[in-house]
Amino acid sequence: MNLKDCYSFDDFRQLAKQKLPSPIFHYIDGGADDEITLKRNTSSFDNCDLIPNVLNDVSNVDLSTTVLGQKIDFPLFLSATAMHRLYHHHGERATAKAAEKMGTMFGISTMATVSIEEIAKLTKGPKLFQLYIHKDTGLTDNLIERCKKAGFNSMCLTVDTVVGGNRERDRRTGFTTPPKLTLGSLLSFALHPGWTLNNLLHEKFQLANIIHTTKKGSGIDKSVVDYINEQFDPSMDWKDAEYCVKKWGGPFALKGVMSVEDAKKAIDIGCSAIMISNHGGRQLDGSRAPFDQLAEIVDAVGDKIEVILDGGVRRGTHVLKALALGAKACSFGKGYLFSLGAGGQKGVEAVLQIMKDEIKRDMTLMGCKSVKELNRSKVVFR
């Protein structure tokens, strides 16, 4: 199997499974505890059906939308995810370039392996920086100031990761950053010589945005959850979030909001957007799926704040359903990470092209000329 055989999320996932050593594949693929939320994030889209309208001259369909102050060519962007260097030796360079080429926004994580400054030089496309608040308070100011100087367009603060989720697959495979060769994992690395060779021959793994303040997680073998539990600040509260909103002073999203109550507080502290998200099912297992919470949150705050649906998106029809319920756009993680592992920048471009084509085809079949025409009349719950 190779890239040209990939037509869907499942195909890219299969190819990534072939190409990546198993601890790395399972780090992307896994969720918390029994992975119930992970599965529910996608299956929740099946609770409703689309109702098309016909004979509406759909010879020109406009997929573009504006989110966090940025125009994107289609209503799906790359949610921030950690450590792209693990999945492909070009790391975030590959993902950022693919997003730019395909006309959508790139989200870069605090835990990226390419620096804010390098990404800013590399791409003129819309860029969203994802902030984690560390116990080292100077780090927050430092990251915000560097993003301003580098010309990032928007920022989000992840609020669902005050402690690490229980990712049992990582414990079973012994996943660490950087990857550690153990007796157990040796076979898996040996069976993936392409990845292993590229890993050895290219730049060293590092958490490029925070290496100057903490070497933890960069130079020593560490589990991601240990890193989170040691470094992230569980005392973070609404005042800290408000501080970040004010300090940034531009379009700002809270990522990981799941309740109407918190969505209202996000408005009070001056956020311009919320990302309804449970971290792709990697944190609190048993929490509701973002899609299941979407309508209620949109009804309560949709006229005052942009609502972004993050989690479980695998198909163009998922994006259509979210937009019909009132989301401004969707974002995804695993959907582009598998394609990064499967084929670097070309892989990410391929999956984005497939998603863009699906959204366009689905909107045409729905009789919608623009994303504005996707509204509640277009979906019915079973």
Ligand X SMILES: Cc1cc2nc3c(=O)[nH]c(=O)nc-3n(C[C@H](O)[C@H](O)[C@H](O)COP(=O)(O)O)c2cc1C
Query: Residues in the site for ligand X, rule: CB under 6 A?
Result: 27-28, 41, 79-82, 109, 111, 130, 158, 255, 277, 279-280, 282, 310-313, 332-335, 337
Give the nearer residue to ligand X in terms of CB position, either 99 or 368.
99
Give 131 or 368: the residue with its C-beta nearer to ligand X.
Answer: 131
Our answer to whether residue 279 is catalytic in this structure is yes
Q: Which is nearer to ligand X, 334 or 356 (CB)?
A: 334
Cross-strand pairs, 66: 71
Taking CB atoms, the residue at the shortest distance from ligand X is 333
Whichever of 218 and 373 has its CB closer to ligand X, that residue is 218
Cβ nearer to ligand X, comparing 75 with 335: 335
Residue 123 or 283: which CB sits closer to ligand X? 283
- For tokens 């007796």, the residue is 183
Residues in Cβ contact with 331 at an 8 Å cutoff, skipping those fewer than 6 apart: 76, 77, 78, 79, 107, 275, 308, 309, 310, 313
The distance of closest approach from Cβ of residue 367 to ligand X in the complex, given in angstroms and rounded to an integer, is 28
Q: Which residue, 80 or 99, has its beta carbon nearer to ligand X?
A: 80
Least CB distance from residue 9 to ligand X, whole Å? 9
- Supply 161's token pair: 């990761």
Q: Is the distance from CB of 358 to CB of 8 less than 8 angstroms?
A: no
Do 152 and 116 touch, CB atoms closer than 8 A? Answer: yes
Is the alpha carbon torsion for 37, 38, 43, 48 positive or negative?
positive
CB of 161: closest distance to ligand X in angstroms?
7
CA distances from 211 to 101, 113, 304 (A): 29, 10, 38
Q: Is 31 exposed, middle or buried (0-12, 13-18, 19+ CB in 10 A)?
A: buried
End-to-end CA distance of the chain: 37
Q: From the candidates 84, 88, 279, 318, give the one annotated as an active-site residue.
A: 279
- Minimum distance of ligand X from residue 294's CB (angstroms): 14
Helix 137-150 vs helix 238-248: crossing angle, to nearest 10: 30
Q: How near is the Cβ of 309 to ligand X at its closest, in Å?
A: 10
Kindly report the backbone phi and psi dihedral angles of residue 261, in degrees, each rounded to the nearest multiple of 5, phi listed first.
Answer: -55, -45
Task: State in angstroms the smallest separation of the CB of 234 from ligand X.
Answer: 16
Minimum distance, C-beta of residue 201 to ligand X, in the bound complex (Å)? 23
Q: Which residues are catalytic?
A: 279
